[in-house]
């Protein structure tokens, strides 16, 4: 079977995948920051710096996605992952009810 | 669900997928096989011709053995395969035959679309079908009787995330407090505050949606014989489906399911789709 691959689509898909994974890492860092904030283990000045750094990271991600034109590709990877989790949960629920 | 009964999808005389893709071949070529719509309760004398109501207007008749009958039409041994539009027509015709069977016999055990009994090893399709009906007679009758007076209903509940978010934000004092606090903080702290607020919001919305699912499922189960949890679907709209249930309901209890649907739909941000009565596709 012959598969036609457009170079640009391939690049966008690949970059989209990388950015989506980096975004998930960023969100994990955000979650860790919030946990530390709740635990009270950081001073107000440290929290301010952490918050500022994460905010800058958010902006950098937004800019990068816009510059590379991979907004849709990233969303598609994220939706795909969400769907995979949904399917797993659905299958578990379905199996329980039968 | 009982699947296809054909021994060999390719069939002894099938030379390739191109030949099988011709839907008009079905009745005209060689009607050696029997397309089975479903099983109904029947007495030996109950041999019925239902007329040309089947797929592509084929003549549907009841093939009786013992205490059950199979609703069939004569066809070729090739499965129906002819593109999306044709498939939709066939599935609809299949469904209509089963609806008619439900109203006529009060119960039907549906077969999947494209259930075809073909000849095999020197035996005709009729012999194969009769054998199967004979062997499974009691169990088929039990299953058909178990579905008597019942029908399947599809209950789909969705919500509008924006509305639920707003309701949660308005009703939760913790979120209101966090929102106020964020306004007085420096940029970095305000950012973390907003992230925390979003996390609490998400958690509250998830909780609300979980409760909605549990309520719908338990209330549906209370008025149904059986409930299957189906996969939720995303139709690309702003709505998010939270529950997609197939319910096997005794017809005299249908008003309870309808009342539940009305009650759910009465809440702002929630929509309901109730479909039925349908042949019990999910419960056979």
**Mind giving me the DSSP string for B164-189?**
HHHHHHHH-HHHHHHHHHHHHS-HHH
Asked if B192 contacts A33 with a C-beta cutoff of 8 angstroms, the reply is yes
Chain B contacts of A30, Cβ < 8 Å? 195
> In this structure, what is the dihedral angle of CA atoms B249, B250, B254, B257, given to the nearest 10 degrees?
-40
The pLDDT assigned to B272 comes to 95
* Cα first-last separation, chain B: 5
> What are the structure tokens assigned to B122, written together?
């020197």
Q: Which one of B97-101, B174-178, B200-204 scores highest in mean pLDDT? A: B97-101
Rounded Cα gap, residues B232 and A59, in angstroms: 34
Instruction: Tell me the nearest-neighbour CA distance from B234 into chain A, angstroms.
Output: 10
> What are the structure tokens assigned to B264, written together?
């759910």
- pTM, 2 dp: 0.73
> What are the structure tokens assigned to A91, written together?
């299958």
At the top level of CATH, the class of B150-166+202-283 is alpha beta
Of A30, A48, A49, the CB nearest to B195: A30
Q: Per-residue pLDDT tens for A51-97?
A: 999 999 889 988 988 888 888 888 888 888 877 877 777 677 655 54
> In this structure, what is the dihedral angle of CA atoms B252, B253, B254, B260, given to the nearest 10 degrees?
160
pLDDT at B87 over 60: yes
Q: How confident is the model at residue B15 (pLDDT cuts 50, 70, 90)?
A: very low
Rounded Cα gap, residues B141 and B147, in angstroms: 10
Q: Do the chains contact at B227 and A97, CB–CB below 8 Å? A: yes
Q: Do the chains contact at A47 and B227, CB–CB below 8 Å? A: no
Helices and strands, number each (H, E), in chain B = 9, 10
Of A37, A48, A97, the CB nearest to B196: A37
Q: Is residue B59 left, alpha or beta, with left meaning phi > 0 and alpha meaning psi from -120 to 50?
A: beta
More confident residue, A97 or A11: A11
Q: Do the chains contact at A54 and B191, CB–CB below 8 Å? A: yes
Rounded Cα gap, residues B2 and A28, in angstroms: 46
Rounded Cα gap, residues B200 and B196, in angstroms: 6
Asked if B178 contacts B196 with a C-beta cutoff of 8 angstroms, the reply is yes
pLDDT at B98 over 80: yes
Beta strands in chain B (DSSP E): 33-41, 49-51, 60-65, 68-75, 109-110, 116-117, 150-159, 226-229, 240-250, 270-278
Rounded Cα gap, residues B10 and B95, in angstroms: 25
| Closest by CA position to B54, among listed B91, B4, B14, B12 | B91
From residue B90, give the alpha-carbon distance in Å to each of B62, B66, B96, B153, B284: 19, 29, 10, 21, 20
pLDDT at B10 over 60: no
Instruction: Tell me the nearest-neighbour CA distance from A36 into chain B, angstroms.
Output: 11
CB under 8 A, 24+ apart: contacts of A43-47: A44/B189, A47/B188, A47/B189, A47/B192
Instruction: Tell me the nearest-neighbour CA distance from A33 into chain B, angstroms.
Output: 8
- Return the DSSP state at B267: S
For chain A, give every domain's residue range: 11-97
Beta strands in chain A (DSSP E): none
Rounded Cα gap, residues B119 and A39, in angstroms: 73
Q: Per-residue pLDDT tens for B177-216?
A: 888 887 888 888 889 888 888 888 888 888 999 999 999 9
> What are the structure tokens assigned to B38, written together?
């479903």
Q: How confident is the model at residue B60 (pLDDT cuts 50, 70, 90)?
A: very high
List beta partners, residue B36.
B72
- Closest residue of A to B243, CA-based? A90
Q: Where in chain B is the domain with CATH 3.30.70.60?
A: 150-166+202-283
pLDDT at B6 over 50: no
Phi, psi dihedral angles at B65 (to 5 degrees): -145, 120
Q: How confident is the model at residue B107 (pLDDT cuts 50, 70, 90)?
A: very high
């Amino acid at each position: 079977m012959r598969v036609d691959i457009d170079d640009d689509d391939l690049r966008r898909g690949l970059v989209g995948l990388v950015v989506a994974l980096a975004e998930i890492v960023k969100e994990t860092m955000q979650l860790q920051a919030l946990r530390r904030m709740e635990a009270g283990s950081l001073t107000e000045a440290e929290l301010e710096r952490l918050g500022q750094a994460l905010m800058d990271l958010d902006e950098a991600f937004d800019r990068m996605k816009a510059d590379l034109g991979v907004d849709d590709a990233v969303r598609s990877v994220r939706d795909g992952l969400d769907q995979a989790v949904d399917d797993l949960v659905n299958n578990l629920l379905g199996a329980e009810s039968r | 669900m009982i699947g296809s009964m054909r021994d060999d999808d390719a069939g002894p005389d099938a030379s390739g997928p191109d030949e099988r893709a011709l839907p008009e071949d079905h009745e005209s070529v060689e009607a050696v096989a029997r397309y089975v719509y479903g099983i109904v309760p029947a007495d030996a004398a109950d041999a019925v011709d239902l007329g040309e109501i089947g797929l592509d207007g084929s003549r549907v008749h009841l093939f009786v053995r013992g205490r059950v009958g199979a609703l069939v039409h004569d066809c070729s041994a090739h499965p129906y395969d002819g593109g999306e539009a044709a498939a939709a027509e066939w599935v609809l015709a299949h469904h209509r035959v089963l609806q008619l069977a439900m109203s006529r016999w009060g119960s039907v055990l549906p077969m999947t679309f494209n259930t075809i009994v073909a000849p095999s090893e020197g035996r005709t399709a009729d012999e194969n079908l009769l054998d199967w009906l004979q062997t499974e007679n009691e169990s088929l009758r039990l299953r058909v009787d178990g579905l008597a007076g019942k029908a399947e209903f599809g209950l789909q509940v969705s919500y509008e995330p924006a509305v639920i978010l707003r309701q949660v934000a308005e009703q939760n004092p913790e979120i209101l407090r966090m929102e106020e606090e964020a306004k007085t903080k420096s940029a970095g702290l305000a950012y973390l505050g907003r992230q925390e607020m979003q996390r609490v919001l998400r958690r509250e919305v998830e909780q609300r949606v979980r409760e909605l699912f549990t309520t719908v499922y338990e209330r549906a189960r209370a008025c149904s014989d059986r409930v299957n949890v189906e996969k939720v679907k995303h139709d690309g709209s702003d709505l998010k489906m939270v529950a997609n249930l197939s319910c096997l309901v005794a017809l005299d209890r249908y008003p309870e399911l309808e009342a539940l649907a009305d009650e759910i739909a009465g809440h702002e941000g929630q929509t309901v789709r109730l479909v039925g009565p349908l042949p019990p596709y999910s419960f056979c």
